[in-house]
Amino acid sequence: MTKTHLEDLDLTADGTVSSGFHPTGPDYPLIVKPLDPDTDPIEWAEDHQDFIQAAVSRYGGVMFRDFPFEDVEDFDEFVKTVSGGPLPYMEQSSPRDAVYGNIYTSTSHPAGEEIYLHNEQSYNLNFPLRIYFYCVTPAAERGATPIADTRRIAQQLPGELVRRFAERQYQYVRNFGEGFGVTWQTAFQTEDKSKVEAYCRANGIDIFWKEGDRLKTVQTRPAVATHPRTGETAWFNHIIFFHVTTLNPEVCNFLRAEFAEGDLPNNTFYGDGSDIEEDVLATLRAAYEREKVAIPWQRGDLLMLDNMLMSHGRESFQGSRKVVVAMSDPIAWQDVRYRIS
């Protein structure tokens, strides 16, 4: 925890900013604006580290609005100042383009597709505790980055369901080389099969090479976590995001007609490989939807999320849109294990 206790957080940050919430949203994310429009965002961040860390731990997300960020290089410098520098993107699950160092496009998915709420790389043994978004160009219509508080999701889910997933965990099955999604070469950033095998051995991933240079990976992961700084329970997983039924119904039906459940490009199961019931999936989706908040982007907005406390997604949009992303503060699953009482 930072020096600033959550209950004692000064929302004015020594009288340098105003803080509040979007008129149509709940109490997250915290929207922070400088009182002096000429405030240097990097210098301000250096001087208010405790405020920033405490605010993101309390609210799950902080949007820095109206700070005079000039470009992606300023964004990169802000991340370095607050979190020590962006991480490379490993075990890629969606197409991204590098923009500057370890700053990437938030996704290269087609504009007409919605991206469901998820927590970045929760399926990795090591994942980023922080994720940052910076709006270079807002979309002409829609294009927000919706978020949802994973603490509230965990609280509203039936206790028996949370316990079931805490005990059984979940399984993420991925098939590369079927003509959908990124290739294994892109996902693992190598053309060398032996390097893929070594990475998977070190990261708890079972692999199966198939004909035609295709690859199947299977990883079993926890679904519930305890936040290392706040001690709160978080619904932290990719169960819904990667389940085939989350896709557009037309796409889902096509894939199910073409592939067996275990051979789909992406799919999730209980940790023992058994199917997750439709009513359970519906309950999980409803919980995400109840907590979803979508604040329209403005040019120059910077959104900092605690990746464990806040899931994120993307609305479909029209027009050009450029939002870049950085991930930081690596942490291991073994350090956030949820203990079943």
My answer on whether 140 and 230 are in the same domain is no
Task: Please list, residue by residue across 147-183, b when 16 or more beta carbons sit within 10 angstroms of its beta carbon and e when fewer do.
Answer: bbbbbbbbeebeeeebeebbebbbbbbbbbbbeebbe
Among 60, 296, 328, 291, smallest CA distance to 154 is for: 291
The backbone torsions φ and ψ at residue 145, rounded to the nearest 5 degrees and listed phi first, read -105, 90
Give the end of a domain, one of 269, 287, 305. Answer: 287
My answer on whether 226 and 240 are in the same domain is yes
| Strand order, beta sheet including 310-314 | 115-118, 310-314, 147-149
Residue type for 303, please?
A: L
Q: What is the mean pLDDT of residues 117-128?
A: 95
* DSSP track, 45-62: HHHTHHHHHHHHHHHSEE
My answer on whether 298 and 252 are in the same domain is no
145 token code pair: 């980055």
My answer on whether 273 and 308 are in the same domain is no
CATH of the domain at 62: 3.60.130.10
pLDDT at 91 over 80: no
In a domain, 187, yes or no: no
My answer on whether 12 and 96 are in the same domain is yes
pLDDT at 121 over 70: yes
pLDDT at res. 4 = 47
My answer on whether 11 and 138 are in the same domain is yes
The residue ranges of DSSP E strands in 257-307, in sequence order, are: 266-270, 302-306
My answer on whether 165 and 85 are in the same domain is no
Mean of pLDDT over the chain: 93
In a domain, 196, yes or no: no
Report the DSSP pairing between strands 61-64 and 30-34.
Answer: parallel
pLDDT at res. 92 = 54
pTM, two decimal places: 0.93
My answer on whether 120 and 252 are in the same domain is no
In a domain, 195, yes or no: no
Q: In this predicted model, what pLDDT tens digit does every residue of 209-218 receive, in sequence order?
A: 999 889 999 9
In a domain, 303, yes or no: yes
In a domain, 236, yes or no: yes
Q: In this predicted model, what pLDDT tens digit does every residue of 266-321 receive, in sequence order?
A: 999 999 999 999 999 999 999 999 999 999 999 999 999 999 999 999 999 999 99
In a domain, 341, yes or no: no
Percent of the chain predicted with pLDDT > 70: 95
Q: How far apart are CA 312 and CA 121, in angstroms?
A: 12
pLDDT at 3 over 70: no
pLDDT at res. 94 = 59
Tokens 């098939």 sit on residue: 175
121: domain range? 6-151+293-335
DSSP state, 279? H
My answer on whether 63 and 137 are in the same domain is yes
My answer on whether 167 and 145 are in the same domain is no
Are 221 and 168 within 8 A, CB to CB? no
pLDDT at res. 86 = 85
Q: What is the mean pLDDT of residues 37-54?
A: 97
My answer on whether 137 and 238 are in the same domain is no
Number of domain units in the chain: 2
Give the DSSP H/E element, type plus range, for residue 199.
helix 193-202
In a domain, 100, yes or no: yes
My answer on whether 137 and 38 are in the same domain is yes
DSSP state, 290? H
Among 294, 297, 301, smallest CA distance to 321 is for: 297
In a domain, 261, yes or no: yes
